[in-house]
A and B are shown apart, each in its own frame.
Chain A
Amino acid sequence: MNGRVITVTSGKGGVGKTTATANIGAALADLGKKVVCIDADIGLRNLDVVMGLENRIVYDIVDVVEGRCKLRQALIRDKRLEELYLIPAAQTRDKNAISPKDMVRVCDELRKDFDYILIDSPAGIERGFKNAIAPADEIVIITNPEVSAVRDADRIIGIVEAEQKGPAKLVVNRINMDLVEKGDMLAVADVLELLAVDLIGIVPDDQAVLVSTNRGSPIALEARSKTGQAFRDVARRLTGEQVAFTKANGGGFLGRISQLIRTGSRPGSK
């Protein structure tokens, strides 16, 4: 096997990186892929709780890097999906406990056994972020349709390009179509025009995500949830499948969006 390493990042905190990682991971595993999610947010781990696996942690990624356990021993199997695993972050250490080289080494080992290695990046552009993108074959950027999140996403996209990890793929998370129609929320087409990157997902703003997080059970596994469908669509697009952006999955303005994707946009060009 020669697994792909996909890093989920955002710059700004609180836009839904961890939720997206857990859901895309679950959706990929549900498609029959063998998946491991790595929490790279050392000192502030949360992917374990979003996946509902916090009670099963024995070893973490720092234990692996420092040789206290075998890589295999730090892999926690998901409760529901046979082919989904988690490698948790350490909670009592800081980002400097591991290096970008360590991450590359761990991921190269995991590539042999998994189809997808998803890395949940910490917010910011410091060491933890560098650790998270070092082994990446592909970067998925999560943003929200608001000024500060889009601005930070732009900064991250620039760094990703400079690190030759691009082109990054964008998920616009927490879109509220009612607000967009009222003219009080940036539309997906606006965000794409400003950032000029490829779109890979549109996820609606949905209170059901809070409920699923409370339960520790990813919404991507709820067959009838539109938000779950949106994450499943992201997963399918990551596998290379062409999945249209329709009104049903929160898209709308299909023509405008696909046009933007094709031509690339020119913010501020004269």
Chain B
Amino acid sequence: MRSLTNLLNRRGSASTAKERLRLLLIHDRSTLPPGAMEALRDELIEVISRHVDVDRAAVRIEIAQEGRSQRLLAEIPLKKVNNRLPDDF
């Protein structure tokens, strides 16, 4: 009977605790000082833009957890290349 009530009412306080801890631990484990992510993002865009056109608004940088190690993930979409032939062709 208990498991039935459980199924109907799945969100006990334990799931709240787990979610809070998940976010807390990502924050606690992070070695980046506040503001560093934004600075990193801006500088990455600047460097890469020297070589290719970057879709600035869509750039995403985040820290992902794998077991106890962290990984910096950057997703940097490029602007569509203009494939039109030059006019004087």
Contact = CB atoms under 8 A, between A and B. Distances in A.
Chain B associates with chain A: yes
Interface residues of A, number: 30
A154 B22 CA distance: 11
B35 interface: no
Contacts of B11: 183
Given A183-B15, A184-B14, A269 B66 contact: yes
Contacts of B29: 154, 158
Q: What size tier do the contact residues of chain B reach? A: 20 to 34
Interface centre among A147, A157, A180 (most CB of B within 10 A): A147
Interface centre among A180, A183, A190 (most CB of B within 10 A): A183
A266 B66 contact: yes
Contact of B65 (A183, A184, A190, A268): A268
B39 interface: no
Contact of A268 (B3, B6, B14, B26): B26
| Interface of B (DSSP majority class) | helix
Contact of A194 (B9, B13, B18, B73): B18
B67 A196 contact: yes
A249 interface: no
Nearest to A158: B29
Contacts of A151: 21, 24-25, 28
Given A180-B14, A194-B18, 11 more contacts: A151-B28, A181-B3, A183-B6, A183-B12, A186-B17, A194-B22, A196-B67, A266-B65, A267-B26, A269-B64, A270-B64
